[in-house]
């Protein structure tokens, strides 16, 4: 294994460590509260994970996953500001976050045109990757909308459904790539997503009386 390959692997596994730990923290706190919660640490770990895995996907290169990481990174930053500033974050406005998201989207589309270094995947698998990433990334767009409306970072129930569907497609895509870093990154997601859906259902039943 060359030095570059080794460093790339370390970067990928480090990103996975951030991504796994964010949901581990969120899961444990949700179990303690008996409802789904969005702790501040979740957004910091998400941003660090997206930065590391986005760089990994860029260097691979893998277009579908790279696009998703750069777009969600901007949303993580916005949630960090809301989590720390609360109502005061509204004074900052969504303008900077939208500007970052648009800028990263342009960067993702422009650099996404780069050719793969290995044998190109059949078009159907590239489509699966983009569709899965679109669904997976849309969960944070939805979450962002609900957060801006309420002024508090939280996870609506639809967030977990979008997570589950998108995660399943991306796990299938990662298995086709035979990339252990991407496979590990998506393998445990469904467990956390299903559990949060169960907690959400319990919370709704309790609220209904």
Residue 185 has pLDDT above 90, yes or no: no
Which pLDDT value is given to residue 93? 52
More confident residue, 90 or 14: 14
Neighbour tally for 186: CB within 10 Å: 23
Residue 190 has pLDDT above 70, yes or no: yes
- Given a contact cutoff of 8 angstroms between Cβ atoms, the answer to whether 13 and 36 are in contact is no
d(CA 111, CA 75): 20
d(CA 197, CA 47): 23
The DSSP call for residue 188 is S
**Spatial CA neighbour of 144 closest among 162, 131, 122, 171:** 162
d(CA 133, CA 12): 18
pTM for this structure? Answer: 0.75
Neighbour tally for 180: CB within 10 Å: 14
80 upstream amide cis, omega within 30 of 0: no
Contacts for 108 with CB less than 8 Å, ≥ 6 apart = 66, 67, 70, 71
d(CA 142, CA 156): 8
Which pLDDT value is given to residue 45? 95
d(CA 58, CA 72): 15
Which pLDDT value is given to residue 50? 93
Cα separation of the two ends of the chain: 59
- Given a contact cutoff of 8 angstroms between Cβ atoms, the answer to whether 51 and 96 are in contact is no
What is the percent of the chain where pLDDT is above 70? 81
Q: Tell me the per-residue pLDDT of 15-32, one tens digit each, with 9 for 90 and over.
A: 999 988 998 898 888 888
Q: How do the residues of the chain divide into helix, strand and coil, expressed in percent and rounded to 5?
A: 85, 0, 15
Q: What number is the average pLDDT over the span 133-138? A: 87
Which pLDDT value is given to residue 175? 93
More confident residue, 188 or 96: 188
Q: What number is the average pLDDT over the span 40-59? A: 91
**Spatial CA neighbour of 83 closest among 19, 152, 24, 133:** 152
Which pLDDT value is given to residue 113? 41
Per-residue buried b or exposed e for 57-81, using 16+ beta carbons within 10 Å of the residue's own CB? bbebbbbbbbbbbbbbbbbbbbbbb
Which pLDDT value is given to residue 36? 81
pLDDT band at 115 (very low <50, low <70, confident <90, very high): very low
Q: What number is the average pLDDT over the span 162-173? A: 94
Residue 111 has pLDDT above 60, yes or no: no
Which pLDDT value is given to residue 168? 95
Neighbour tally for 100: CB within 10 Å: 17
Q: E-strand spans in the chain? A: none
Residue 173 has pLDDT above 90, yes or no: yes
Which pLDDT value is given to residue 114? 45
More confident residue, 67 or 42: 42
């Amino acid at each position: 294994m060359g030095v570059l390959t080794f460093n790339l692997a370390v970067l990928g596994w480090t990103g996975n460590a951030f991504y796994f730990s964010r949901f581990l923290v969120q899961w444990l706190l949700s179990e303690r509260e008996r409802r789904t919660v969005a702790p501040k640490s979740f957004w910091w770990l998400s941003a660090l994970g997206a930065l590391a895995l986005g760089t990994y996907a860029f260097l691979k290169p893998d277009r579908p996953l790279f696009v998703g990481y750069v777009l969600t990174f901007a949303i993580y930053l916005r949630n960090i500001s809301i989590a720390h500033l609360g109502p005061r974050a509204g004074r900052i406005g969504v303008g900077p976050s939208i500007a970052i998201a648009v800028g990263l989207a342009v960067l993702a589309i422009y650099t996404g045109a780069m050719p793969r270094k290995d044998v190109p995947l059949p078009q159907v698998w590239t489509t699966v990757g983009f569709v899965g990433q679109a669904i997976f990334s849309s969960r944070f767009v939805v979450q962002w909308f609900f957060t801006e409306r309420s002024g508090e970072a939280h996870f609506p129930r639809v967030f977990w459904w979008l997570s589950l569907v998108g995660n399943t497609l991306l796990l299938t895509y990662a298995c086709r790539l035979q990339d252990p870093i991407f496979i590990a990154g998506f393998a445990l997601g469904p467990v956390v997503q299903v559990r949060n859906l169960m907690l959400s259902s319990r919370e709704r039943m309790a609220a209904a009386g």
